[in-house]
């Protein structure tokens, strides 16, 4: 599936490895939560990067002790209508201070790209090739944002105010 990072198509350097497969030597791997939690201690000694797929029904605060050993966090949209990972993403960025790559995976569609970007995702694993190609258009459809979120876009409450009070973003 086409992977986009900060608006540009990129090659996926992470290999997805299922729980019963051996981890390929020296390769960046993306693994499931069960395996990660079971092997977390051992994985600390691994030289190559490790990423985890964090499910949307597990409190994201539980990831805090492991952030230092992770190189990628993938959150999951089992179906695009299930919006739990938006909250997880914002909490990761705004509460837990995660600065590394944050990937949207699962049923990731064009009409949700903007919401994902605003919630702090910088990697989008698009389901459809055509959607990935339209990424730029999809995230620039709006110029007006009513509320502050994780992204740097100025929100309207403050934009409006900007006309009367200087120095407020």
Q: How many CB atoms lie within 10 A of CB 10?
A: 12
Q: Does 100 bind another protein (CB under 8 A)?
A: no
According to CB under 8 A, which one of 119, 123, 126, 139 is a site residue for another protein? 119
73, 114, 117: which is closest to 92 by C-alpha?
Answer: 73
CA pair distance 75, 125, nearest whole angstrom = 10
Phi, psi of 47 (to 5 degrees): -75, -40
Please identify, using beta-carbon distances, which residue of 49 and 148 lies nearer to another protein.
Answer: 148
Distances (CA, A) of 73 to 91, 114, 120, 136: 13, 19, 12, 23
Q: Is 141 in the site for another protein (CB under 8 A)?
A: yes
Residue 2 contacts another protein per CB under 8 A = no
Determine if 129 is a binding residue for another protein (CB under 8 A): no
Phi/psi for 16 (5° steps) reads: -80, 125
> Quick one: which of 21, 64, 95, 136 contacts another protein (CB under 8 A)?
95
Q: Does 66 bind another protein (CB under 8 A)?
A: no
From candidates 70, 114, 124, 132, binder to another protein by CB under 8 A: 114
Binding site for another protein (CB under 8 A): 59, 80-84, 86-88, 90-91, 95, 109, 111-112, 114-116, 118-119, 130, 141-149, 155-161, 164-165
């Amino acid at each position: 599936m086409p992977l986009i990072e900060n608006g540009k198509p990129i090659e996926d350097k992470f290999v997805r490895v299922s729980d019963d497969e051996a981890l390929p030597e020296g390769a960046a791997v993306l693994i499931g939560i069960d395996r990660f939690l079971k092997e977390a201690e051992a994985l600390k000694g691994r030289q190559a990067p490790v990423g985890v797929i964090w499910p949307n029904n597990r409190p994201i605060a539980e990831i805090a002790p492991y952030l230092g050993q992770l190189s990628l966090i993938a959150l999951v949209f089992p179906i695009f209508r299930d919006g739990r990972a938006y909250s997880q993403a914002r909490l990761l960025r705004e509460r837990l201070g995660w600065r590394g790559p944050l990937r949207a995976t699962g049923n990731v569609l064009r009409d949700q790209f903007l919401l994902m970007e605003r919630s702090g995702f910088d990697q989008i694993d698009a389901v459809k090739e055509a959607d990935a190609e339209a990424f730029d258009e999809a995230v620039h459809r709006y110029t007006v944002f009513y509320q502050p979120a994780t992204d740097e876009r100025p929100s309207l409450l403050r934009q409006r105010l900007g006309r009367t009070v200087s120095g407020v973003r």
